[in-house]
Amino acid sequence: MKISNLLKKSSLICLATFALHQSCIAGNGTFSNEKGYGEWITGTFVIDGQKTARIGSKYTQNNVAIFLDFLSPDLYLIEIIRTKDVPDRGMEPRYYLMDMAIAVDNKNRINFKAKCAEDETLDECFVPQSKNDELVKLFKKGNEVNFKIGDFDLYFSLSGFSKAFSRASRLVK
């Protein structure tokens, strides 16, 4: 999907994305109906009364994890979340944009402007995506995905991604 088309779609879902993002920063969700596929896990995720499907890597690096939360059958968020070892002191989140580059098997690098938020307990960056986009096709064919976000250079195995993605697509319907 072309970036210009993504930007048009993202403006239509801006309010929904902002509401979900606020929920992620504001509280803890519950993950159920879990099933693992290789290095990925999938299930139902409920936060602040909103039910969605979620897949995530079972492996984290430096307290950083990757998730894909499905907002609808045609839209999901790629989220990179880093938890901090600091108790929550009620700080209001700080929002900003950050450059994010995603590459599968160290090629086909795609650049994004990620929407990010930070409070005292976590940092979170996300990019809305259409489920039929080129990135998903690359994830399904690849062995490893690299995320470059600021100073972070993160690698995650894609073993089991295709099956986890397919299951989450069925769960969100």
pLDDT in tens, 156-165: 999 999 999 9
Strands 144-149 and 30-37: unpaired
pLDDT in tens, 8-45: 333 333 323 333 333 343 346 788 899 999 999 999 98
pLDDT in tens, 68-121: 988 877 788 888 888 877 666 666 788 999 999 999 999 888 888 889 998 877
Q: Output b/e per residue, 11-35; b: 16+ Cβ within 10 A.
A: eebeeebeebbeebeeeebebeeee
pLDDT in tens, 51-70: 889 999 987 777 888 999 88
pLDDT at position 38, please? 95
pTM, two decimals, is: 0.75
pLDDT at position 29, please? 74
Tell me which long-range contacts 119-122 makes (C-beta under 8 A, separation of at least 24).
Answer: 119/25, 119/88, 119/91, 119/92, 119/93, 119/94, 120/84, 120/86, 120/87, 120/88, 120/89, 120/91, 121/83, 121/84, 121/86, 121/87, 121/88, 122/25, 122/81, 122/82, 122/83, 122/84
Burial of 90 (0-12, 13-18, 19+ CB in 10 A): exposed
**pLDDT tier for residue 152 given thresholds of 50, 70 and 90:** confident
